[in-house]
Every structure is written in C-alpha cells, then in structure tokens.
Amino acid sequence: MKALGGRSAGSRGRRRIVALAVVGALVVGAVALAATASAGKKAQRCTPKEPAAKNIIVMISDGCGYNHVLATDYYQYGKTGKQIYQKFPVRVGMSTYSANNPAGYNPAQAWTDFTYVKSGATDSASAATAMSTGYKNLDGTIGIDIYKSPLYHIAQYAETIGKATGVVSSVQWSHATPAGYVAHNVSRNNYTQLAAEMINNSRTDVIMGAGNPLYDDNGQPKATPSYTYVDQPTWDALAAGTAGGDADGDGVADPWKLIQSEADFAALTVGTTPKRVCGTPQVATTLQQSRGGDAMAEPYDVPFNTNVPDLATMTKGALNVLDNDSDGFFLMVEGGAVDWTGHANQLGRLIEEEIDFNRSVEAVCKWVEKNSNWNETLIVVTGDHETGYLTGPGSNPGWKPVVNKGKGNVPLVQWNSGSHTNSLIPLYAKGVGARLLKKAANEYDMVRGRYLDNTELGGLQFDLLK
C-alpha cells in the first residue's frame, strides 16, 4: 500500500501530474498533456510553526453547489449568510474534476459557455478518493489509483498514529462517499464487497448510514430482506456481535456493536459508549429523501419517517464514541441525499436535506466549543461536486440569480441538469490549519473568487493530522 503520510507535498504533486498525464494520453492524446499541469499543482506544506490537528472533521454535502446553499438560506432564513459555516474565517471555492478530465476546470469557459460545466464532471467515488487520499483517480473507482493500486486513506493514516476514525452518512454506509474514505475497489457498485472490507478489514471505529436490508424506504419491515448494500454473512455477523477484525493491533478481535433503532442512536449521544459502533437505521436507501409521497412537494409537506435519527443525532453519537480516544480522531460526515435531490430535481427535498446537513454542522461546532477547541480541531464544510446545475429562473445562455421569496417560502430556481457538473463548489473551514487551506486557494475564478483543488484538501490533511 502506498502511504502518503510521510511523503513530501512535492512527491504528491508530481505523482498527480504523472497520473493525469497518462490518462490524458489515453483519452485525448498529446494535446491534453499540457492541461494536466494545473491538476498537478502541489499541495501546500504545513510549516513547522503550524500546530498539529488533534481532530479533523470533514463534512460533505454531497452534490451541493453555491446555489443549493443559497436556496436553502432563503427558505430557512429569508436571507443568506446566517449558516454557522458561512461565518467561518476561510470561505473559498474548490474544483472537483477527476482524472477522467485531464483538462480540469477552466474559469473563463465556465462563465462564457453555459454548457461547459455539463461535461467533465467527477462522480462521488473519485471525488471522495481525492479528498481522502490527495490523489485524483478514475470515476467509479474507490480508493485506488489509475493503475488500480490501493491508495492510502487519511483514515488509515489516522489509525496508524493512534487516532480513532469514523464515517457517517444519510445514505447507505457502503455508498461512494463513506466507502471512499475507508475502502478500495475497482467499482463503487460493488456494495457488498465494500461493506465487507469496511466491517471486516478496516480499523474504523464508527460506521453509520442507511442501507438496512430489513427495511424499505418508508422505514417499514420488508417481507424478504434485500442484501444489496451489505451481504448476508456480514450482516448476520453484525447482528450477532461477532463481525470485525483486530482494530487496535493487540491481536484480539474488536467486534462491532450494531445499533438500528432511533432510541439507540439517541442513547449513543450521551454517556459511555461501545468501542466500535455500526449504526444502520431502520430504512433502506436514505434517511428521508427516498420516502414515499409527492417527491416534488414543498419542504416538510410529506411526513417524515419517524423511526430513524436525523443526521445531527448520528453525528453526535459518532463524536461521543470517537472522543474516547485521547489521541484524537478523524471523522467524515456526509449529507449524502442532497445529491439524490439534485439528480431528481426535487427542490423541496433538497431544502430538507440541506437543512438536515446544516444542523449536523451546528452540532459539530457545539461539540468543539464544549469538548475541544479551535486550536486543536479543524472543521471543513464542503461538497464533492455540484448536482443538477441549479441556477435562477431564466438562465441559459446567461446566469440569473435564485429568487428569494422570503423565509418559509420556496425560492424560484431553475434546474439545468439531472447529473453532476464540473462547477466549482464552496468550501468553508475553521480551526487549526484552516489558514493553510486559504493559502492553497491560489487559483482564481472571476465569479467565485479564489479556489483550491480537492486533492489539496486531501493532501493537507496528512500534513496537519499528527
């Protein structure tokens, strides 16, 4: 396995150049090779004076772009700038393209050609891998480079230096983003293989997300279990309390504690906790987005599933487990279903999902201020790509703003795609090392301002987490 932790930032940058050059040659020939230079930009290096991060918490609103945040702001507050992360000291953009797009992101083209960002987009598997490892790879692959060799995740590095680790999601825990921080596979669609690796072969301490084989999308028991996202042997072992290898290296197996009920998730937020927790709420694919009823209804018009926790509760439970480790931890929290609403162009459910994500960010900030401090903990709030090409009404060929209709009213928007786009997305950061992310944002977009690349976020984590 190729460890990044002890390498220089320069070696990471050089390897990205080589990797992208090979892909460029395969895809578009020699002309594309020159375009890989921006993709191979070196990550900023932690200076000797920069304090180490005891804890890093990366929060990803999957599929969220600038206008997803704005539309939610208008509905939630009637104005923008009220989200807790919008007050973070670092507020920059981030490019997200994968190794499949050696040309990268071109700001001039993005704002002169309305169709430009509709091509060259990453998927969640490659985006998560870039943020987790510091390397770009091919779409659809998890934790491996373009040569199919395994990459070293930030969570793996954290475990080797004695820290606890966890991933939390509002979608299936073997889905692309949580798996992209733990596992390695040639295909993001090999869910059962990913689940087996995460449970049986990783040293992860907390894994939470949907994908319960015993329940449907409305939280109702299934007549016949569906082992799509976790195979039956792994699930049966989880239920029996026997799943899990040696997580702490003492030669003794460390089994997972499986929790499923809403009450169990609530109980996990306080008091003593098991050593390792796999939290799988009683629902199939997402906590709420995939529930029945009118999927195009306004926010909260369709009753929620009542037997599942919200993302904030799951996040608080994960923190209560991970902070038992006096050495610190790495945690990734994903609002995964924001992406699903973008694919389906569901504005009402987008707002529901983004508010759920926002509340989880608020919970994390409260945890820092109560149990840690900003001099030892870094919080990064971002996405993995934009989904749906959300703009204001009347856009194309130009860009019109989202129309604010006031607090509690759905704003006026226009969806321009049902897929991912190559748009820049926002990144917010606060805490130890945040200034290095701002320093790394040394490219400029004429509308969004300064931005960095997702591999730079990935690489800097290795420098900061010590």
49 — pLDDT class (breaks 50, 70, 90): low
Helix (H, G, I), strand (E, B) or coil at 216: coil
pLDDT band of 331, cuts 50, 70, 90: very high
The answer to whether the beta carbons of residues 36 and 22 sit under 8 Å apart is: no
**pLDDT of 38 higher than 60:** no
Predicted TM-score (pTM) of this structure: 0.91
Q: H or E stretch including 170?
A: strand 164-172
Sorted by where each begins, the domain ranges of the chain are: 9-464
Q: Residue 1: pLDDT above 60?
A: no
What pLDDT digit, counting tens, does each position of 52-85 carry?
Answer: 999 999 999 999 999 999 999 999 999 999 999 9
- Predicted pLDDT of residue 284: 98
Residues 179-213 have pLDDT tens digits of 999 999 999 999 999 999 999 999 999 999 999 99
pLDDT confidence band for 311 (50 / 70 / 90): very high
Residue 117 to residue 432: CA distance in whole angstroms: 33
- Letter for the amino acid at 85? Y
DSSP secondary-structure letter at 229? S
User: What's the rounded Cα separation, in Å, for the pair 134 and 13?
Assistant: 9
Phi then psi for residue 104, to 5 deg, are 75, -140
Q: Contact at 8 Å (CB) between 196 and 234? A: yes
Within 8 A by CB and 6+ apart from 284, the residues are 210, 211, 212, 215, 216, 217, 226, 290
Which pLDDT belongs to residue 13? Answer: 37
> How far is 454 from 94, CA to CA, in rounded Å?
6
Q: What is the pLDDT of residue 246?
A: 87
The residue written with tokens 């082992």 in the block is 227
Q: What percent of the chain has pLDDT over 70?
A: 89
Write out pLDDT tens, residues 365-380. Answer: 999 999 999 999 999 9
Q: Would you list the DSSP string of 129-145? A: HHHHHS----TT-BSB-
Give me the pLDDT at residue 67, please: 98
* Residue 16 binned pLDDT confidence (cut-offs 50, 70, 90): very low
| Per-residue pLDDT tens digits for 253-297 | 999 999 999 999 999 999 999 999 999 999 999 999 999 999 999
Res 249: pLDDT:
83
pLDDT above 70: residue 22: no
pLDDT at residue 19 greater than cutoff 70: no
- Please give the sequence-ordered ranges of beta strands (E in DSSP) within 240-376, or none if there are none: 257-259, 277-279, 329-335
Between CA 85 and CA 53 the distance in angstroms is 19
How many whole angstroms separate alpha carbon 245 and alpha carbon 278? 13
pLDDT > 90? residue 7 = no
- Say whether pLDDT at 47 is over 70: no
Mean pLDDT, the chain, whole residue set: 91
What is the mean pLDDT of the segment spanning 427-443? 98
> CATH 3.30.420.130: does it fit domain 9-464?
no
Q: Residue 346 in 3-state DSSP? A: coil
Given the DSSP bridges, would you call strands 414-415 and 277-279 parallel, antiparallel or unpaired? Answer: unpaired
